[in-house]
């Protein structure tokens, strides 16, 4: 039988003296050696691939973590943005500023002679009427909100005095300065200013204040009291064009407004008995005994202005106010403050009262006085009677330390009635 290579041509001749099996083994040996020589290379390739795979896995893991972080940040940003948009919308709807500025041309919007004739008390009454009427108008039309009222009245004192003299308003001349003082003392933010007798000095002041105040974001409304003068039309029209129309309210003094101002179509506030309804003519005569002159002044008892000492009958404060010592509590001032005068607007002792009526208080100081007054028992309630003031009583009807009053347990508390320790007080001790 003829030998041949495996898978080869059976007719191929073998080398001489080489057994076919040996020949096959040699060939297999070469192939095995070939495989062994390449094994190291294969292992290196596999190791390199595994290393690269690990790098890619780490990179993928890092990128995936960054993606998740970015997604969380995006979600948080969207939540914050949504909340801020809601807050912004709520702000626009509910809080369009807290300042209400009243600008008055005192040469045209002249206060009623029946107020001026009352001097300092009339100035305070005018401030109270102006404040109450303005706040009532704003609350009615825009709902309840926290507002601060600023009033600027610019006038030519010499010119007004001369006008009063020519018109026969002689009694007003001696009272006018006291009226201005009463108006200015009504509260810290009310100001009547004599700008001198320069031509149109009051107009210039009013125009500058209008332009500056209306642009402040904290300004909610400008109440403009210059409706008698067409000279303000251009300034008002400019503010309307600039987008501030919703901030403007006209305060009417004379019964007839200037034609140009009336055509602006702005909302108008009218306060009866605050201003002269007609221009002063030379044949006008003021009579202090006329029915309108004897008309009662607007009440100032119920809602005293911030920083004001109420001017009740027979309780007019001295022209020079007393200054609080800010280093000590309001309860320890020397002399002490008259509780009834400051919190109820009148004092039964009038000029014989041993307590002071002439301090000028801020709203915070008045609140401090309210808390201090509640620590003293109501004299009527202390005797077992029925207090006529009821809830508006400035004194305490319940012990401020109830129900854990240390002095009551010892029988020494000033609130001696049994019902004065029945319920906890709302006023802090």
159-177 residue pLDDT tens: 899 888 887 788 888 899 9
| pLDDT at residue 316 is higher than 50 | no
The band of 409, judged by pLDDT with boundaries at 50, 70 and 90, is confident
252 or 320, greater pLDDT: 252
Lowest-pLDDT choice from 2-11, 15-24, 95-104, 210-219 = 2-11
* Structure-block tokens of residue 40: 């190291």
pLDDT of residue 152: 96
For the chain, percent of residues with pLDDT exceeding 90: 32
| pLDDT at residue 312 is higher than 60 | no
End-to-end CA distance of the chain: 129
The band of 313, judged by pLDDT with boundaries at 50, 70 and 90, is very low
For the chain, percent of residues with pLDDT exceeding 70: 81
pLDDT of residue 23: 76
Closest CA to 330 of 355, 302, 301: 355
pLDDT of residue 255: 86
Residue 154's DSSP bridge partners are 105, 193
Mean pLDDT value of segment 211-217: 92
Report the alpha-carbon distance of residue 208 to residue 217 in Å, rounded: 17
pLDDT of residue 334: 87
| pLDDT at residue 355 is higher than 90 | no
Residue 322's DSSP bridge partners are 359
pLDDT of residue 129: 92
Mean pLDDT value of segment 368-375: 88
Report the alpha-carbon distance of residue 23 to residue 6 in Å, rounded: 10
Q: What mean pLDDT, rounded, does the chain reach?
A: 80
Is the peptide bond prior to 83 cis by the omega test (within 30 degrees of 0)?
A: no
Lowest-pLDDT choice from 28-42, 136-150, 250-264 = 28-42
pLDDT of residue 309: 33
Mean pLDDT value of segment 11-31: 71
What domains, with CATH codes, occur in the chain?
97-270 (3.40.50), 330-421 (no CATH)
Lowest-pLDDT choice from 7-16, 69-78, 233-242 = 7-16
- pLDDT tens figures, 75-104: 999 999 999 988 877 666 555 568 999 999
pLDDT of residue 417: 80
223 or 392, greater pLDDT: 223
* Residues whose CB falls within 8 Å of the CB of residue 246, separated by 6 or more in sequence, listed in order: none
- pLDDT tens figures, 373-388: 888 888 888 888 888 7
Q: At 268, is the secondary structure helix, strand, or coil?
A: strand
Residue 369's DSSP bridge partners are none
């Amino acid at each position: 039988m003829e030998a041949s290579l495996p898978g080869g041509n059976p007719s191929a001749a073998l080398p001489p003296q080489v057994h076919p099996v040996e020949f096959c083994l040699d060939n297999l040996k070469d192939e095995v050696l070939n495989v062994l020589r390449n094994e190291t290379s294969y292992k290196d390739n596999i190791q390199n691939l595994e290393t690269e795979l690990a790098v890619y896995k780490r990179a993928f893991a890092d990128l995936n973590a960054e993606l998740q972080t970015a997604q969380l940040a995006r979600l948080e940003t969207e939540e914050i943005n949504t909340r801020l948009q809601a807050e912004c919308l709520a702000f626009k709807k509910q809080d369009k500023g807290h300042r209400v500025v009243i600008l008055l041309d005192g040469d045209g919007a002249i206060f009623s002679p029946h107020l001026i004739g009352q001097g300092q008390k009339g100035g305070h009454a005018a401030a109270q009427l102006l404040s109450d009427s303005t706040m009532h108008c704003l609350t009615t039309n825009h709902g309840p909100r926290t507002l601060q009222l600023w009033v600027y009245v610019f006038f030519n004192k010499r010119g007004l005095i001369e006008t009063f003299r020519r018109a026969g308003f002689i009694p007003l001349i001696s009272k006018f300065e006291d009226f201005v003082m009463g108006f200015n003392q009504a509260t810290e933010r009310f100001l009547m200013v004599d700008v001198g007798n320069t031509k149109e000095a009051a107009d210039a002041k009013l125009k500058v204040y209008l332009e500056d105040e209306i642009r402040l974001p904290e300004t909610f409304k400008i109440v403009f009291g210059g409706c008698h003068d067409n000279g303000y039309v251009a300034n008002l029209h400019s503010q309307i064009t600039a987008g501030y129309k919703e901030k403007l309210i006209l305060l009417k003094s004379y019964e007839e407004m200037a034609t140009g101002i009336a055509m602006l179509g702005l909302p108008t506030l009218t306060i009866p008995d605050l201003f002269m309804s007609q221009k002063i003519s030379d044949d006008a005569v003021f009579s202090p005994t006329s029915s309108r002159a004897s008309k009662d002044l607007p009440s100032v008892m119920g809602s005293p202005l911030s920083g004001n000492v109420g001017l009740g009958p027979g309780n007019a404060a001295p022209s020079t106010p007393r200054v609080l010592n800010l280093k000590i509590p309001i309860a320890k001032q020397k002399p002490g403050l008259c509780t009834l005068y400051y919190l109820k607007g009148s004092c039964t002792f009038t000029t014989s009262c041993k307590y002071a009526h002439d301090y000028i208080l801020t709203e915070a100081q008045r609140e401090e006085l309210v808390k201090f007054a509640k620590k003293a028992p109501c004299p009527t309630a202390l005797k077992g009677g029925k207090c006529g003031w009821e809830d508006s009583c400035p004194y305490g009807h319940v012990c401020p330390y109830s129900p854990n009053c240390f002095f009551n347990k010892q029988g020494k508390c000033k609130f001696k009635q049994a019902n004065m320790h029945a319920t906890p007080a709302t006023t802090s001790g």
